[in-house]
């Protein structure tokens, strides 16, 4: 570890941390790791208390977290007396879902994600927050990005149509992060996690991503004695999947060690076709029936695989969990919790 990098075990001891989305899938793992690192003051805002689409709710959240506006309308920068060097915001709150949910709610996916992020980052700068961490999305990349996706290719085309509103809303936070650093010196960073999976994922059939959707289909087909499951598309697209605990570790390493606004991919460097993925999920769950491909449904982006060298170089992140191990843990978790109510399907800033 380079001498310039802070020690993860001591970095958080004197910090106050706000984790938006800290009750959701990724956020709950980030909060658990913060506690493991010794963070003593962690605030997880709930949607019922702080609707992050509402400006007044954001200002109230920052006041409750101990920050107060330090910047006037003239844009003057925070002074040492009014800044809050111990307060860090990790912004994970998002309205998320699979292809079906994105197609059904494109305006809401755009508006909710944009308004939550843009206003929160702006008010955090005004309040003198020490650091603002934004979790972007691999959906921000152009539809036909050369593989592996490099951060410098982010602007070389339009995102895949089915999730473009979501991807572009998140992408605007990158622009905001960079411009606020350039003009105001605000320490905000932007990381781009790839597709996540793992224990605690959203298994709701109306809004889940591909891995939890396939796990649920296979397990329920077994339970009902059905001889086939239906999968969307033709199985040809590829995806990179990152185990959620690895994603949480990458985000915290970036928060500790990275202080630039250039975007950074966080991924596993493991690419698998949807067809092979579906067959693997069927094998791990024990489903031995037929897989029927519904080619009337969209495939989504043709390929996704990230270049993760920047994350390794800038803050020492490398994924630690193999796909086979992560998938087995996810299936086991779902079998234990299959009878529990499904998580909230839309505004996952709280769970």
Q: Which segments within the chain are labelled E, that is strand?
A: 16-20, 41-43, 84-91, 129-135, 188-193, 195-197, 228-232, 238-243, 264-266, 271-273, 290-294
- The answer, yes or no, to whether residue 324 has pLDDT greater than 50, is yes
pLDDT of residue 74: 54
pLDDT (tens digit, 9 = 90+) per residue, 194-237? 999 999 999 988 778 899 999 999 999 999 999 999 998 999 99
3-state secondary structure of 234: coil
C-alpha to C-alpha distance for 312 and 346, rounded to whole angstroms: 33
Mean pLDDT over residues 120-143, rounded? Answer: 96
pLDDT (tens digit, 9 = 90+) per residue, 276-298? 999 999 999 999 999 999 999 98
- 166 annotated active-site: yes
pLDDT of residue 154: 97
**Catalytic residue, candidates 166, 197, 314, 334:** 166
Residue boundaries of the structural domains of the chain: 8-197+240-269+301-321
Domain 8-197+240-269+301-321: which CATH class? Answer: alpha beta
pLDDT (tens digit, 9 = 90+) per residue, 24-79? 999 999 999 999 999 999 999 999 999 999 999 999 999 999 987 665 555 555 55
Whole-prediction pTM value?
0.90
C-alpha to C-alpha distance for 49 and 262, rounded to whole angstroms: 33
Tokens at residue 177, please? 């992060």
C-alpha to C-alpha distance for 345 and 95, rounded to whole angstroms: 8
The answer to whether the CB of 179 falls within 8 A of the CB of 185 is no
3-state secondary structure of 316: coil
């Amino acid at each position: 570890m380079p001498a310039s990098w802070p020690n993860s075990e001591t970095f958080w001891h004197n910090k106050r941390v706000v984790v938006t989305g800290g009750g959701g899938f990724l956020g709950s793992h980030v909060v658990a790791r913060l506690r493991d690192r010794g963070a003593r003051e962690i605030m997880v805002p709930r949607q019922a208390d702080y609707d992050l689409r509402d400006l007044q709710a954001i200002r109230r959240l920052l006041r409750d977290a101990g920050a107060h506006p330090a910047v006037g309308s003239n844009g003057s920068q925070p002074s040492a007396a009014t800044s809050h060097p111990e307060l860090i915001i990790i912004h994970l709150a998002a309205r998320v879902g699979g292809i079906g949910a994105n197609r059904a709610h494109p305006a809401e996916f755009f508006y909710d994600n944009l308004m939550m992020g843009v206003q929160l980052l702006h008010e955090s700068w005004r309040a003198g927050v020490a650091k603002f961490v934004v979790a972007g999305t691999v959906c921000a990349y152009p539809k036909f990005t050369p593989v592996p996706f490099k951060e410098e290719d982010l602007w070389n085309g339009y995102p895949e149509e089915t999730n473009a509103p979501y991807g572009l809303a998140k992408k605007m936070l990158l622009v905001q992060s960079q411009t606020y650093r350039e003009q105001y010196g605000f320490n905000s960073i932007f990381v781009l996690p790839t597709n996540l999976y793992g224990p605690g994922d959203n298994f709701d059939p109306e809004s889940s991503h591909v891995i939890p959707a396939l796990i649920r289909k296979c397990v329920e087909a077994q339970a009902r004695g059905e001889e086939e499951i239906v999968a969307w598309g033709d199985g040809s697209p590829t995806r990179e999947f990152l185990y959620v605990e690895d994603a949480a570790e990458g985000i915290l390493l970036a928060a500790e060690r990275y202080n630039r606004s250039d975007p950074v991919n966080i991924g596993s460097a493991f690419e698998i076709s949807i067809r092979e993925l579906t067959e693997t999920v069927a094998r791990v769950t024990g489903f031995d029936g037929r897989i029927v491909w519904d080619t009337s449904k969209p495939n989504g982006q043709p390929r996704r695989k990230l270049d993760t060298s920047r994350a390794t170089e800038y803050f020492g992140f490398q994924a630690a969990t193999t796909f086979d191990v992560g998938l087995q843990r996810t299936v086991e978790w779902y079998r234990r919790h299959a009878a529990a109510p499904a998580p909230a399907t839309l505004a996952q800033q709280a769970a």
